[in-house]
């Protein structure tokens, strides 16, 4: 029987990380709030007591649920009658393991930003911690929350594409095309191996690209060859990666991720080609999925339209033509998490149709980064996954 | 001194209309919640007591704040110490006046869906009611909440386009291209003159198109010539309208709104041309504004990018390339309302830069519908506005 | 029996107008040459003898087939054993009638640029001249030569769209957004009523827009209401027009043409909506036709692809994905003309499937311009067509 | 002194290959004719005498200039007073060497389709033959004839992009996604190693992709790693290739070519990213070049517009907004060839600004195919170029 068996209503959520100036913390807060499924009630938003207090006050957290120390937060919240049922971890990568461990061991569900950890060793430790816990572990590979990504996945699964032959996936940005300003918090930790981990672009966005391809196609990558670069002088992590992929069953792929592609904003794009049809989805225009049956014509399938699969319809809120975006997709991950957390109250399994990225996906991501780095160090030799 | 002078934190919000099966009520609820500025605490979601109760329960409203009668709600909430500070009115058009009046007279701010009313007579009565009240009146012409609409407005205002010559605006849908199913609640009241008012497409979406053009250009329309049609047999209101516009200062325009344009979803699009440049914005791709200086090249200005004006930057939440959509734009109207409502607590004016559609805009919209109907009845003769 | 009954091989072509600095003459020459169906062998490229000679030499015309006087050319070519079988008329509008008359009366086929004439009176005279002649009259409403325009027409004709309700057509340019430089030959005559005729934008591009709508839908316009403007100070002809259209059978339309839409290049676009589907074609992206069945999804039909109709396939040269453009479409008009001219050699009718704009289309165009001017003079009152 | 020193007027052209049913022969014929610079006067369109005759008759070649044997054609044409000055070779790849050799040795200029040859050995022999000849050798890497490709090249050359870091180039088709019908001539020889050579997709379209990247960036590739596939059962040549590229100076790239990408038509696309800006060009929308300065906004530069460089302006024929396409680009290669051939008459060098792909480019292409095949055979190991 779950210790949260008696809970009803919105899920009480805590947050670790996400203090003033952080981007992704604010995104998680909106995502949790958008559908009314979560109430943020506690937080250790910063490891600096002063910053933690100021950040908490700014977003209206009560002082007695504000912490500077995540371990203390985990301990105390676990004891409170109205303590948090789940925690969102939005720290730099190197903190994911130590933070998650404290909450998992106390049965508090974890919603963790990606990549899972900075290193493969940490990822394995985190897996061990999760396996020992009853709590759920949800990884916010948020792009899997887009309805038309669900649509793409459903169409592959129902055989519309035939046998998959090719995967072309890319995630291009330009925000690190030059050495960042010293006060750019986002850039600061992401370009620091101690906090970001072994991968730069590969970890930050390459893992998203890989996960998206995996999520839509279901294909298991078996090996990769990666050519990593650090174009900006002095940079210690990759800021661009060219990766060849081979999948079980013979499909092949290319993955490109870059933080130095001048003019690119958040150009995550997936194209998949099978024996019967292809598909094309772009996160910068996310309400459309272009489906290209062999022999044509191409079809523009729009979110929430009559042509869509129930798998995508269940994650939309508004009619076709009214665009939903990044935050709604992110909220869909929180929504899926809420379904699972509510089921867990009574010990039920995750309901049918509810899908979210888990620790296993996170481990794949960190394995991908590790493989990229090893392959690149060996002049882009093939490395097994 | 405002009766809400002591209030802090989220604004307590009530809702009239928006029961089960309603679309726009759910949109308003998300919009109020997205940035955490409003707490929905009371509602008369339906005039049927049973439906009102069931609808309220579904969204977690407490039973003692659930009403079947909006007048009772207005009276009781006005007396409660923690009563609502604002009410969202999301009923069919013909109810806007009677509902709004009850709340306005008790100093409760009104956030009202558009069009303002079904008839011009009602609109004028509502204006009178609002003038007698200290409360704010916010009309949810939600497209004005899109950051790139703000960007367009800022660019016109700062003179980038020179003198405006031409306005091309359209709002095309196809959801009423056939007689709707009998159980389609949305279609039912919108095609019924008793509840929708004098206009069909003109009222439902033509008012949005006009308001968008007005908001971006600042131009005042002086007369129009309208050719209205009801293509679907038996339909009693227009489902398509072709409108010529003339503006103060000599600019001219065309406005097309349709609910029968097969394949169109929510194709609201605005193009404006001045002596120096043009611009093009489309709500189905809302994060981009195409600006076309005479002599070129065209520029694609993206939301939150470095090229944007502070007027649009202040209404964005996430970096460029991560799309924001319809709900975020709607939430921006609620955000502007929140700024104004908080200022009103201490009797301050609406803060600089905060802009939202008001009763005056609503009156313009209803006047537009009335003029379209009158012009069309006179074979598209020019009618003054 | 045709006087050209013995002819085989490429059609001998003459040209009137199109001297140095002219744009459309060069376009006609390429169009005639592209498929090898015409040989340009004679010309009166300018009324100035010196310019006529220099222009002819530049394009390789023999001196003995170079004329300064089109009447002399018509007389002499009609007598030559290897004289021209057809003449391309690419003069300013006011010269179409006098030039065409000379060739028609001598049985020489006429390929004439649009609009047919500058005035309705001239158009009627030209019709009379053509009726008295055995020669063919082909009007280069060149946009009807685009394969995907043919595709659109075929789809309407075969009922894919159901009953047509709406036509939205526009042709936007910006090249006359400011007073043109004095040495701009193109602009000079087009803004001069004496040479251009009654219409400015309406004549130069509005006629194209109307013809495109007519060609695709087959609908007959019965009346129009037009609001014409001359935005540029001192301009004597319209540079922008907003037109409401009514068609036989109840369909309605809007037509916008402009030469002052900053940033627009040659934005001819047609959208048609019927009871079953819509379609969207844009000349700036001419190899695609977007078809939108009610209920979706939208389809992108590409030129020469398997999804296309024989009516468009017969006018393509290269595989899908390799774009064809403006010149190929223009050449298709010449190709259709060649089919008709070859059939005329033996007195055969125009072969099945061959379609080109004729004098009747030209007369419709001039009637449209005349009606626009009359309507606008009466404050956009309805005028019958 | 050239043996063609006395020639004036259009260049007399012969053709080898390109008989009935061939695609590329017809394209070359249009390209030569479009601007009036070439007259096709002789041909050995097929090695079958009957087919050669029938094909020649169909396109109007005189019987006495029709050959079944290209050697005989070369010999006789070289002796004729009005013999051909240039020959277009449009045979399957394996015939390029033997045919070209016969004409080169007689001083007749060669315009040869790509790839240069089927094998590297043949390519080297052809280079030797060309070095011994005074005649010009033009290779129809036709995409370099697109004005906006010239624009891209000019912008890279003038430093707009800063130092190039990344090249992403792809050419995706789907026409070989299934085993072709037995009577598909195009597919037949292209999938036969004896006629196509060592490469399938790599040779047919990969060489175009590489050449395009080279032409625009000027970067010299130093090594590549290629993963080649033959997805269609029984296929003996690659139908898909994933290639990593490294360039002199440190730039990196990815090249993808495919003939099995369901839904792709002729998706040649090039993206280049430098320290200051990026650019994006797509042959399916070839009149636009998107330029993305770091810091934005993106610019849409259109062919023939005021924003373009003289290097692209000189290769356009019509105003912006009127699309030019594949045939015009191909004709531009013929146009460049014509400039060079006319200069050669008097022994002058190729005029300034005239640029066309040569044997050196062809050798690079064949070297690329050879390297891809070798790399792939070694499990995508790096191979020097």
What pLDDT digit, counting tens, does each position of C14-69 carry?
999 999 988 899 999 999 999 999 999 999 999 999 999 999 999 999 999 999 99
SS3 assignment for chain C = CCCCCCCCCCEEEEEEECCCCCCHHHHHHHHHHHCCCEEEEEEECCCCHHHHHHHHHHCCCCHHHECCCHHHHHHHHHHCCCCCCEEEEECCHHHHHHHHHHHHCCCCEEEECCCCCCCHHHHHHHHHHHHHCCCCEEECCHHHHCHHHHHHHHHHHCCCCCCEEEEEEEEECCCCCCCCCCCCHHHHHHCCHHHHCCCCHHHHHHHHHHHHHHHHHCCCEEEEEEEEECCCCCCCCCCEEEEEEEEHHHCEEEEEEECCCCCCCCEEEEEEEECCEEEEEECCCCCEEEEEECCCCEEEEECCCCCCCHHHHCCCCCCCCCCCCHHHHHHHHHHHHHHHHHHHHCCCCCCCCCCCCCHHHHHHHHHHHHHHHHHHHCCCCCEEC
Closest Cα in chain A to B173: A321
Question: Is C77 domain-assigned?
Answer: yes
Which of D161, D273, D297, D378 should we substitute to test contact with A (largest number of A Cβ atoms within 10 Å)?
D273
**Are B213 and B77 found together in one domain?**
no
CA distance B134 to D259: 69
Question: Is A88 domain-assigned?
Answer: yes
**Are C29 and C107 found together in one domain?**
yes
Average pLDDT for residues B97-109, to the nearest whole number? 98
Give the residue among C43, C39, C40 at the shortest CA–CA distance from C9: C39
Torsional sign, CA C299, C304, C306, C311: positive
pLDDT tens-digit readout, B243-271: 999 999 999 999 999 999 999 999 999 99
**Are A219 and A264 found together in one domain?**
yes
CA distance D181 to D201: 18
- C300-C305-C310 Cα angle (round to 5): 110
* CB burial of residue C21 (10 Å; 0-12, 13-18, 19+): middle
- A144-A149-A155 Cα angle (round to 5): 130
Contacts of D43 in chain C (CB under 8 A): none
Q: What pLDDT is stored for residue B184 in this prediction?
A: 87
Q: Do B300 and D300 touch (CB under 8 A)?
A: yes
Q: How near does any CA of chain B get to the CA of A119, in Å? A: 27
Number of domains forming the structure of chain B: 2
Q: Do A319 and B287 touch (CB under 8 A)?
A: no
Q: What pLDDT is stored for residue B1 in this prediction?
A: 53
Give the residue among C168, C172, C156, C247 at the shortest CA–CA distance from C206: C172
Say which DSSP state B251 is in: -
Q: What pLDDT is stored for residue B127 in this prediction?
A: 98
Q: How near does any CA of chain D get to the CA of B161, in Å? A: 17
**Are B72 and B135 found together in one domain?**
yes
Token duo for residue D7: 């020639």
Residue D132, pLDDT above cutoff 90: yes
Question: Is B4 domain-assigned?
Answer: no
Q: Closest CB to C307: pick one of A297, A300, A305.
A: A297
Closest Cα in chain A to D244: A242
Strand-pair category, D298-302 with C11-17: unpaired
- The proportion of chain C whose per-residue pLDDT surpasses 90, expressed as a percent, equals 91
| Phi, psi (deg, nearest 5) at residue B290 | -95, 125
Helix (H) or strand (E) holding B42: strand B38-44
Contacts of residue A230, Cβ cutoff 8 Å, sequence gap at least 6: A200, A236, A237, A238, A239, A240
Enumerate the β-bridge partners of residue D247.
D221
pLDDT classification of D264: cutoffs 50, 70, 90: very high
Q: What pLDDT is stored for residue A326 in this prediction?
A: 98
Which of C242, C258, C375 should we substitute to test contact with B (largest number of B Cβ atoms within 10 Å)?
C242
Question: Is C324 domain-assigned?
Answer: no
pLDDT tens-digit readout, D71-98: 999 999 999 999 999 999 999 999 999 9
Enumerate the β-bridge partners of residue D109.
D86
CA distance B202 to B198: 9
SS3 assignment for chain D = CCCCCCCCCCEEEEEEECCCCCCHHHHHHHHHHHCCCEEEEEEECCCCHHHHHHHHHHCCCCHHHECCCHHHHHHHHHHCCCCCCEEEEECCHHHHHHHHHHHHCCCCEEEECCCCCCCHHHHHHHHHHHHHCCCCEEECCHHHHCHHHHHHHHHHHCCCCCCEEEEEEEEECCCCCCCCCCCCHHHHHHCCHHHHCCCCHHHHHHHHHHHHHHHHHCCCEEEEEEEEECCCCCCCCCCEEEEEEEEHHHCEEEEEEECCCCCCCCEEEEEEEECCEEEEEECCCCCEEEEEECCCCEEEEECCCCCCCHHHHCCCCCCCCCCCCHHHHHHHHHHHHHHHHHHHHCCCCCCCCCCCCCHHHHHHHHHHHHHHHHHHHCCCCCEEC
**Are D115 and D51 found together in one domain?**
yes
pLDDT tens-digit readout, C59-98: 999 999 999 999 999 999 999 999 999 999 999 999 999 9
Question: Is A5 domain-assigned?
Answer: no
Residue by residue, DSSP assigns A56-69 as: HHHTT--GGGB-S-
Count of beta carbons in the 10 Å neighbourhood of residue C377: 12
CA distance C35 to C206: 29
Q: What pLDDT is stored for residue B72 in this prediction?
A: 97
Give the residue among A39, A45, A52, A56 at the shortest CA–CA distance from A16: A45
Q: What pLDDT is stored for residue D119 in this prediction?
A: 95
Residues of chain A with pLDDT under 50: none
Tokens 């970890």 identify what position?
A203
- Given a contact cutoff of 8 angstroms between Cβ atoms, the answer to whether C254 and C213 are in contact is no
**Are B63 and B178 found together in one domain?**
no
CA distance B378 to B228: 11
Q: Do A306 and C295 touch (CB under 8 A)?
A: yes
Asked which of B357-371, C266-280, D135-149, D192-206 is least confident by mean pLDDT, the reply is D192-206
**Are A237 and A172 found together in one domain?**
yes
Closest Cα in chain D to A231: D165
Contacts of A307 in chain C (CB under 8 A): 295-297
Question: Is A264 domain-assigned?
Answer: yes
Q: What pLDDT is stored for residue C196 in this prediction?
A: 87
Q: What pLDDT is stored for residue D144 in this prediction?
A: 98
**Are B258 and B298 found together in one domain?**
yes
Strand-pair category, C267-274 with A267-274: unpaired
CA D43 to chain centre: 21
User: Domain with A158 in it: what CATH number?
Assistant: 3.30.360.10
**Are B342 and B287 found together in one domain?**
no
pLDDT tens-digit readout, D97-124: 999 999 999 999 999 999 999 999 999 9
Q: Do A27 and B318 touch (CB under 8 A)?
A: yes
Contacts of B319 in chain A (CB under 8 A): 23, 175, 265-266
Contacts of C297 in chain A (CB under 8 A): 291, 299-302, 305, 307
**Are D347 and D285 found together in one domain?**
no
**Are C343 and C292 found together in one domain?**
no
Q: What pLDDT is stored for residue C6 in this prediction?
A: 84
Q: How near does any CA of chain A get to the CA of B85, in Å? A: 19
Helix axes D96-104, D70-79, angle to 10 degrees: 20
Contacts of residue D98, Cβ cutoff 8 Å, sequence gap at least 6: D70
Contacts of D229 in chain A (CB under 8 A): 165, 252
**Are B104 and B171 found together in one domain?**
no
Token duo for residue B363: 């009156």
Residue C1, pLDDT above cutoff 70: no
Q: Do D298 and B297 touch (CB under 8 A)?
A: no
Q: Do C323 and D325 touch (CB under 8 A)?
A: yes
Q: Which residues of D touch B (CB under 8 A)?
A: 290-291, 295-302, 305-307
Question: Is A15 domain-assigned?
Answer: yes
Question: Is A254 domain-assigned?
Answer: yes
User: Domain with B345 in it: what CATH number?
Assistant: 3.40.50.720
CA distance B340 to B357: 12
Q: What pLDDT is stored for residue D39 in this prediction?
A: 96
Token duo for residue C323: 């774009």
Average pLDDT for residues C108-130, to the nearest whole number? 97
Q: Closest CB to D174: pick one of A231, A294, A379.
A: A294
Residues spanned by the domain of C72: 11-143+333-358
């Amino acid at each position: 029987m779950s210790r949260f068996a008696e809970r009803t209503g919105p899920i009480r959520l805590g947050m670790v990380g996400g203090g003033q100036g952080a981007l992704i913390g604010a995104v998680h807060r909106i995502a949790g709030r958008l559908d009314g499924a979560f109430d943020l009630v506690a937080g250790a938003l910063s490891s600096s007591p002063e910053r933690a207090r100021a950040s908490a006050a700014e977003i209206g957290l009560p002082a007695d649920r504000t912490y500077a120390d995540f371990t203390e937060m985990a301990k105390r919240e676990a004891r409170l009658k109205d303590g948090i049922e789940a925690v969102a971890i939005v720290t730099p990568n190197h903190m994911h393991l130590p933070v998650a461990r404290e909450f998992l061991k106390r049965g508090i569900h974890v919603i963790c930003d990606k990549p899972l950890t900075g290193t493969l060793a940490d990822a394995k430790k985190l897996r061990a911690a999760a396996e020992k816990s009853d709590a759920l572990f949800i990884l916010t590979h948020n792009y899997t929350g887009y309805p038309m990504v669900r649509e793409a996945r459903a169409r592959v699964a129902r055989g519309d594409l035939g046998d998959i032959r090719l995967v072309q996936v890319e995630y291009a940005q330009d925000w690190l095309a030059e050495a960042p300003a010293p006060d750019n918090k986002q850039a600061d930790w992401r370009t620091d191996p101690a906090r970001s981990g072994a991968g730069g672009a590969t970890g930050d966005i390459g893992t998203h690209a890989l996960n998206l391809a995996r999520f839509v196609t279901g294909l298991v990558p078996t090996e990769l060859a990666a050519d990593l670069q650090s174009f900006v002088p002095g940079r210690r992590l990759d800021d661009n990666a060219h990766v060849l992929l081979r999948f079980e069953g013979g499909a092949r792929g290319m993955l490109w991720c870059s933080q130095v592609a001048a003019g690119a904003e958040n150009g995550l794009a997936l194209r998949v080609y099978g024996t019967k049809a292809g598909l094309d989805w772009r996160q910068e225009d996310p309400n459309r999925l272009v489906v290209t049956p062999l022999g044509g014509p191409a079809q523009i399938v729009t979110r929430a339209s009559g042509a869509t699969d129930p798998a995508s319809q269940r994650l939309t809120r508004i009619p076709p033509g009214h665009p939903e975006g990044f935050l709604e997709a992110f909220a869909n991950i929180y929504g899926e998490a809420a379904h699972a957390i509510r089921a867990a109250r009574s010990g039920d399994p995750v309901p049918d149709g509810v899908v979210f990225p888990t620790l296993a996906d996170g481990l794949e991501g960190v394995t991908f980064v590790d493989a990229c780095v090893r392959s690149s160090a060996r002049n882009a030799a093939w490395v097994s996954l």
